[in-house]
């Protein structure tokens, strides 16, 4: 009986092999690259060019697998740690650079890595051997967008008090329903709490603006969340929502998508968003304020006199546990798009995303005064990285966000207590 089963199995395998051999070579030699990403204008433009590379090269199929931003980290982390192999290329962000480093293929051998800036890469996307694990595709810079048909550049606020007064004037005159709108809900805190925290010479941990893990550990992962500078920041947002009413009452639950929609509907005079949304804001098919949008410097809090900004990159990464053939193809495709002048120009033209290819960026800057202006009001003022770079940062970020939201949704006098509680939880989480 066993012999009969063995023979049948052998014949079955042989039959399958014979049938495969009869198929046209192209039908089974083509290689699929599955991409895990977030539906976002800059992603979609890049992937359009990756698909163009695949079509020109031949023998490669790009399969897109969009994932919601709110669950992206959890879903990709689960796949990487289980070595599930669901994706061949994944969107990678500085926020979770160290969380994934050990599971990613080094990309130092991608030629285009010599054409990009080292600032956002060093110590963020590197593994324990110091190898890069991500190929950047756009600089992601927090940017203040404003309605230039409502606000003259010389009127741009130099501090938070001026922001309040300008917003109230526009509301009184019936020119804007809201002065400022921005995302607050985790993980969209950059567009409200975090920019304002840094603009007030404050931070999550001590030392202020420090990102080297060894230095943070030397200070016992002491949190600055309960410091007066952070209390002032949350009080500012509490007043903006509840007292001055220059921001929507439900803003504590807004994602960036919610805030962007309000700005594009013409209901807010000012917003903070990634530079990469400039294309959407100026798309007449999507935005009522198309053609009326400009950019300006960060607005300092009471503890700073100069603007402060961040300059990071979004990147693509390749999971370590996929076939070698797919790794090679993924690197080839990412390299092609990064070196393509057409792709880099399209990324800028369609979205406002600052190109990562330094040589091509310089060419565009010579031709385009708006790119020069954008660099001048953002990248020029970079003082720190826009996240922390240890494995538990996503957990800490959630605590930070929840503590700030608790502050703006409770009683104003309870803000110090909410932040003190959060500070304790943050230090405990980071120290584990």
CA distance 210 to 313: 18
> Under CATH, what is the fold of the domain 142-311+389-431?
D-Maltodextrin-Binding Protein; domain 2 (3.40.190)
Residue extents of the structural domains in the chain: 31-133+312-377, 142-311+389-431
Percent of the chain with pLDDT over 90: 87
Rounded Cα–Cα distance for residues 414 and 265 (Å): 34
Cis upstream peptide for 207 (omega within 30°): yes
Whole-number pLDDT of residue 85: 87
β-sheet bridge partners, residue 293: 147
Contact 246, 267 (CB under 8 A): no
Alpha carbon distance 265, 74 (integer Å): 32
DSSP string, 372-426: HHHHHHTGGGB-S-SS--STTHHHHHHHHHHHHHHHHHS-GGGHHHHHHHHHHHH
Task: Please choose, from the candidates 347, 185, 353, 372, the residue with its C-alpha nearest in 3D space to the C-alpha of residue 274.
Answer: 353
Q: Is 31-133+312-377's fold the same as 142-311+389-431's?
A: yes
Residue 249: Cβ within 10 Å count? 9
Q: How many CB atoms lie within 10 A of CB 237?
A: 24
R_g of the chain, CA atoms, integer Å: 24
Give the whole-angstrom CA distance, residue 181 versus residue 145.
10
Distance CA 50, CA 253 (A): 35
Classify residue 16 as exposed, middle or buried by CB count within 10 Å of its CB (0-12, 13-18, 19+). exposed
Give the residue ranges of DSSP H helices in 58-159: 69-81, 97-100
Edge-to-edge order in the sheet of strand 60-66? 60-66, 31-37, 89-93, 312-317, 135-140
Which residue has 């190929």 as its token pair?
A: 135
Residues 133-184 have pLDDT tens digits of 999 999 989 999 999 999 999 999 999 999 999 999 999 999 999 999 999 9
DSSP 3-state assignment of 265? coil
Distance CA 142, CA 17 (A): 55
Q: What was the pLDDT predicted at 2? A: 37
Tell me the mean pLDDT per 10 residues along the chain, length 432. 33 36 35 95 97 96 95 94 93 89 96 92 87 95 97 97 98 98 97 98 98 95 98 98 98 97 98 96 97 98 96 96 95 98 97 96 97 96 93 94 98 98 97 91
CA distance 1 to 55: 51
Instruction: State how far the Cα of 276 lies from the Cα of 268, in Å rounded to an integer.
Output: 19
CA 306 distance to own-chain centroid: 24
Q: What is the DSSP letter of 162?
A: H
CATH of 31-133+312-377, one of 3.90.120.10, 3.40.190.10, 3.40.50.2300, 2.160.20.10: 3.40.190.10
Distance of CA 415 to the CA centre of its chain: 28
pLDDT computed for residue 329 by the predictor? 97
Token match 């008090």: residue?
A: 161
Structure confidence by residue, pLDDT tens digits, 393-432: 989 999 999 999 999 999 999 999 999 999 999 999 999 8
């Amino acid at each position: 009986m066993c012999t009969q089963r063995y023979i049948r199995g052998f014949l079955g395998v042989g039959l399958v092999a014979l049938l495969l051999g009869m198929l046209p070579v192209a039908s089974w030699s083509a290689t699929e690259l599955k991409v895990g990403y977030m539906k976002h204008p800059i992603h979609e433009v890049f992937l359009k060019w990756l698909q163009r590379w695949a079509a020109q090269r031949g023998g490669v199929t790009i399969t897109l697998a969009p994932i919601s931003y709110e669950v992206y980290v959890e879903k990709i982390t689960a796949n990487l740690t289980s070595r599930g192999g669901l994706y061949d290329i994944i969107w990678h962000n500085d926020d979770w650079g160290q969380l994934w480093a050990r599971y990613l293929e080094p990309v130092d051998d991608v030629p285009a890595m010599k054409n990009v800036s080292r600032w956002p890469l060093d110590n963020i996307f590197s593994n324990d051997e110091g190898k890069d694990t991500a190929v950047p595709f756009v600089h992601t810079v927090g940017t203040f967008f404003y309605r230039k048909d409502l606000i003259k550049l010389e009127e741009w606020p130099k501090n938070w008090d001026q922001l309040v007064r300008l917003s109230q004037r526009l509301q009184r005159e019936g020119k804007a329903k809201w002065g400022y709108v921005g995302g607050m809900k985790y993980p969209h805190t950059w567009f409200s709490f975090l920019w304002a925290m840094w603009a007030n010479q404050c931070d999550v941990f001590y030392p202020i603006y420090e990102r080297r893990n060894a230095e943070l550990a030397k200070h016992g992962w002491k949190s600055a969340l309960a410091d007066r500078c952070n209390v002032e920041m949350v009080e500012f947002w509490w007043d903006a929502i509840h007292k001055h009413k220059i921001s929507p009452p439900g803003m504590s639950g807004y994602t960036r998508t919610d805030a962007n929609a309000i700005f594009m509907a013409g209901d807010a005079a000012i917003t903070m968003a990634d530079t990469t949304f400039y294309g959407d804001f100026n798309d007449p098919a999507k935005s009522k304020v198309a053609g009326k949008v400009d950019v300006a410097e960060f607005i300092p809090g009471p503890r700073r006199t100069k603007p402060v900004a961040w300059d990071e990159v979004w990147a693509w990464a390749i999971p370590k546990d996929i076939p070698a053939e797919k790794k090679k193809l993924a690197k080839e495709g990412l390299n092609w798009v990064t070196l393509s002048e057409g792709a880099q120009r399209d990324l800028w033209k369609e979205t406002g995303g600052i190109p990562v290819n330094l040589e091509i960026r310089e060419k565009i800057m010579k031709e385009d005064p708006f790119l020069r202006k954008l660099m001048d009001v953002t990248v020029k003022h970079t003082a720190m990285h826009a996240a922390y770079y240890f494995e538990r940062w996503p957990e800490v970020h959630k605590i930070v966000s929840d503590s700030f939201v608790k502050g703006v949704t409770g009683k104003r006098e309870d803000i110090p207590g909410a932040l003190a509680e959060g500070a304790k939880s943050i230090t405990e989480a980071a120290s584990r």
